[in-house]
Amino acid sequence: MSTDTDAETETDVEADAETDVDASTDAEATDIDAPEPDVSVHRTRRLEEKEKRREDRAADERAAAESLAGQETVELKVFRYDPEVEGKEEPRFDTFKVPFHTGMTVLDALIYARDHYDSSLTFRHSCQQAICGSDALFINGSQRLGCKTQLADLDEPIRVEPLPHQEVVKDLVVDMEHFYDQMEAVEPYFDPDDLPEGELEEQRQSRDNREKIKMSTRCIWCGACMSSCNIAAGDNQYLGPAAINKAYRFAMDEREGDDRKQERMEIIEQEHGVWRCQTQFSCTEVCPKDIPLTEHIQELKREAVKSNLKFW
């Protein structure tokens, strides 16, 4: 009985081996005989999908246009640019008709154009309350906040462009990295010599001193002033009005330590600091928070002169 069982087992193993060989041979034959994928089929499908999207977009535009029949509208000419999409590498302007109502802002109009005409329209926005500074744009030839600028105050067509003198990433979005670097260069951190003795005691400041620096604290880092400055446009190392204003905020704070103030003054006295300002007032004119930037720069110049005076 034992011998017969062993023989049957060997027979089964041989049969399984032959089956595996046959399956492997069939698989190899299948791989060899399998036709190569037809690239033209995929290309055709992509083109059909692209055409379908174009037709859907055109239908949406027609529907939007029909919905505007009989309504008061405004015309937007919006800067477009996308270096990563074929056919959009060259800058151009697209025109959008948007419905108008009292109190409508440029940002409202851009959001309508994006939602109803072209979802690829790209711009920054956040709080819509003129606090975040993310939607600074070049509107009808001037740096403004989109959320603060009323359509009713503008002449048509309303021309919306990215901030000048900054690299455009896409459409109305610019690269803000250099602006942030300049802001950090003045070391915008409060640094007193002495801290209050009591654990819960405040770092006290006089009312007069608070009033002196109050306006400088309103900066929202929108970059409008930097974009308007001709000096910053020609000198990439110039600190710029926003950064100098930030230095003013700390240097003029009576709670700042004397040694720290001197170090801060040395930063802004450098060749590409306050002395590069030519008092053109362009930064003050475009500031959405009405900060007297030019005045602050001039006051820092006077402080720099006084700190370097020697009597002997």
Cis peptide before 157 (omega within 30 of 0): yes
Phi and psi at 169, nearest 5°, equal -85, -50
- Element of type H or E holding 94: strand 92-99
What pLDDT score does 244 carry? Answer: 97
- Element of type H or E holding 40: helix 39-67
Q: Which of these CATH numbers, 1.10.1060.10, 3.40.50.920, 3.30.70.260, 3.30.70.270, describes 177-194+205-308?
A: 1.10.1060.10
**Over its length of 312 residues, how does the chain's per-residue pLDDT go in tens digits?**
444 545 444 545 454 545 554 545 554 545 555 556 666 777 788 777 878 877 777 776 666 666 666 678 999 999 999 999 888 889 999 999 999 999 999 999 999 999 999 999 999 999 999 999 999 999 999 999 999 999 999 999 999 999 999 999 999 999 999 999 999 999 988 888 777 777 777 888 999 999 999 999 999 999 999 999 999 999 999 999 999 999 999 999 999 888 888 899 999 999 999 999 999 999 999 999 999 999 999 999 999 898 777 555
d(CA 115, CA 61): 11
- The structural domains of the chain, with segments of one domain joined by +, span 64-174, 177-194+205-308
Q: Supply 86's token pair.
A: 């074929």
Residue partners of 298: CB distance under 8 A and separation at least 6: 277, 279
Q: Supply 134's token pair.
A: 């993310």
Evaluate whether 127 touches 101 at the Cβ level (below 8 Å): no
d(CA 24, CA 293): 80
Q: Supply 157's token pair.
A: 């067509």
What pLDDT score does 34 carry? Answer: 53
Q: Which CATH class is domain 64-174?
A: alpha beta
Element counts in the chain: helices (H) and strands (E): 11, 7
| pTM, rounded to two decimals | 0.75
Question: Could you check whether 64-174 and 177-194+205-308 share the same CATH topology?
Answer: no
